[in-house]
């Protein structure tokens, strides 16, 4: 099975900050990677597909990059609504999620 390792597990930041979350795959997954945002008590929301493709309606301050085994999610200027938990997911072979990154207000 392909394992996904996300870092950091917790990130403290302020409104307006630029933040980056990293996700590493245990083997190459090409660009078959998605990013999700989840708020407490809610289902995850798909933000980015195929490593870098922003879903319709997702603010442009979100961006994704990477291929192979290393990927990043960047939020260019944090807004109050962005404080949530973020997950990566590979879907090249079966599906596997990362452990999550909780983005907290500093």
Residues that bind other proteins (CB under 8 A): 1, 32, 34-36, 38, 43-46, 48-50, 55, 87, 89, 91-92, 94-100
4-17 per-residue burial string, b: 16 or more CB within 10 A, e: under 16: bebeeeebebeeee
Least Å distance, CB 61 to other proteins, is 19
Least Å distance, CB 93 to other proteins, is 10
At residue 64, the 3 state secondary structure works out as strand
* Backbone φ/ψ region at 77: left (φ over 0), alpha (ψ -120 to 50), beta: beta
69 or 96: CB nearest other proteins = 96
Q: How many other C-beta atoms can be found within 10 angstroms of the C-beta atom of residue 63? A: 17
13 or 102: CB nearest other proteins = 102
At residue 29, the 3 state secondary structure works out as coil
4 or 75: CB nearest other proteins = 4
Least Å distance, CB 35 to other proteins, is 8
């Amino acid at each position: 099975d392909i394992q996904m390792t996300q870092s950091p597990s917790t990130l403290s930041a302020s409104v307006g900050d630029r933040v980056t979350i990293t996700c590493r795959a245990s083997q190459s997954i090409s660009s078959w990677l998605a990013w999700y945002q989840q708020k407490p008590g809610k289902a995850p929301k798909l933000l980015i597909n195929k490593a870098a493709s922003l879903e319709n309606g997702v603010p442009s301050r979100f961006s994704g990059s990477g291929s192979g085994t290393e990927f990043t999610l960047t939020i260019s200027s944090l807004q109050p609504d962005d404080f949530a938990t973020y997950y990566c997911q590979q879907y090249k072979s079966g599906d596997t999620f990362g452990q999550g990154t909780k983005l907290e207000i500093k």
